[in-house]
Chains A and B, each alone.
Chain A
Amino acid sequence: MTTTALEITNLRKRYGQKVAVDDLSLRVNEGEIFGILGPNGAGKTTTVECAEGLRRPDGGTVQVFGIDPYRDRTEARQLVGVQLQESQLPDKLTVAEAVELYASFYDRHADTEVLIGRLGLYEKRSARYRKLSGGQKQRLSIALALVGNPRLVVFDELTTGLDPAARRESWKLVEELRADGVTVLLVTHYADEAERLCDRVALIQAGRVAACGRPAELIEASRASHATLDDAIVALTTGEA
């Protein structure tokens, strides 16, 4: 029997007059890499913020391993590791200090030195945040997402702004997480990334799930002679053939 890592049912969220998420449902099984794709402003980030317990849904339910991440946030946050879009650290905090500080937030945390080494930051362990390259900052934010030994990891635009080599490094890491049995929720703009990494993908448009399935299924569902997921996404979210 498969365990459900994340279940979102009829989620609604609006900011003032603007509807960000409108009746969205999806289910992520434990152990899978689940992609959330869609145009800017489709509601991807709001959806995962509700899953992370950072926002209270206006309607519908969200459950992470059966726990309400907003109401029972302390419990849920022990299970969920996050890498947020555009989140930084204090300039003068070192890599090792950041990882050790975040480790102290969790009941069962990873060995910080081993984790720093696995993310290729060992030589940079005493470097201050400000001195790190973009790729190193990203790896550090991944380390902070993993340090609490999570069962579900949410990556929001994991590879945006990274050079091709750093992107490939990040992909390798996500594949390692899959091998470890960790559930990964991957928010991305990049169809090639989703096609390569994700077991299943939800295409989100205007706050709803426009299509959901294995990348190959989505390519097929878009019927015409689409060779890549990229073409399929455009077809499924704009109606162009």
Chain B
Amino acid sequence: MKISYSIPIGPVHPALKEPVMFEFEIEGERIVNVDFKVGHVHRGIEWIGMHRKNPLQILPIAERICGICNISHPFAFCIAVENAAKIDVPDRAQYIRTIIAELERIHSHILWAGVAAHEIGFDSVLYLTWRVREKVLDLLEYLTGNRITKAMFTIGGVRRDITEEQYPKIREALDFYKKSFEKLKHVFLDDKTVKLRSRDCGILTKEDALKLCAVGPTTRASGVKKDVRVDFPYAAYGDLDIDYITPDILTGEVRGDVYDRIVVRLLEVKQSVEIIEQCLDNMPDGEIMFEPKVAKLLALLKKASGDGVGRAEAPRGEVIHYVKMREQDTPYTWKVRAPTYNNLMPWIPMLKGEQIADIPIVAASTDPCLSCTNRVAIVKDGKKEIVTHEYLHKLSVEKTRRLIG
């Protein structure tokens, strides 16, 4: 007789952005059903914005919605407010916004690649990729004064310029990433171990990706061409030569598995480097802010009335912010939607039918920051047994060892 178990996993480490509680129903090693609960660190940020803060005060909060997407949220929020208040952003600011957003994508994707390697027990690759990532963080510190929260954005522009004297350092870093790209590509895509663990694992079909409204590299790896930068011009993206990245560009086919998600992210690192180069080559002159005087800007925002939607392509997919302005200090409504919100449901088809040892890599493959699953409880006949994240990780490492023999 088959006995099914229920395994709750999570909630994850509160320091990370999307903590999720998973409950798996398993038969032997195989997952037959998946359920999840989110909201463990729902901080009521939207409420704070709607009731306590003016748009400029919201910016630092928006920047702290997520540590890694700390540009995407202010980006989308600024666009939403600018749309609602009919503010035009100077072209130069649009290019600077684009450069900073793409630098963020480089660091985020490389960070993810390291985490993915760690999940399958390939820690030497984790160290290699995170060493490669340091360069972009150093560059961000050089350009903005900080490695993570950069405080670059303001309503109607950016707060710091990127000058000609800074170009050589940017170009040097871009050359470094062009060189590292080949190496990373070889390590991730030609390696037998990575292939064994990621090929045909955690498949999301194109149909499911569409129906479940998946976004970002998760949906593109399933062959859905959806990228806000190309679909819906914002910032400088309408001026640039960019296209959708799907795995068939490199491999000639779309399987929608974990491997394809690695392919898409790696190619996007290369694409980001090219985007920044295009921005540097075509950087227009001019102002970087619509209104440098804060009091004047706030007075203008206080008079604004209307709805605005801001969309930006974050490293994990589309971020969308909605604001309703009603001639008052605070926005009347502020709705934030991060990409993982839409990438929750796709986990169900991805994880069904896989083994327990595949949970870490499949769950991490949508890049949800779920890699910090802190404990696992196994429920059997009403008795709860808690096992650690280390144990789950050990299972994953053992599977890799078993496969390579």
Do these two chains really belong together in a complex?
A: no
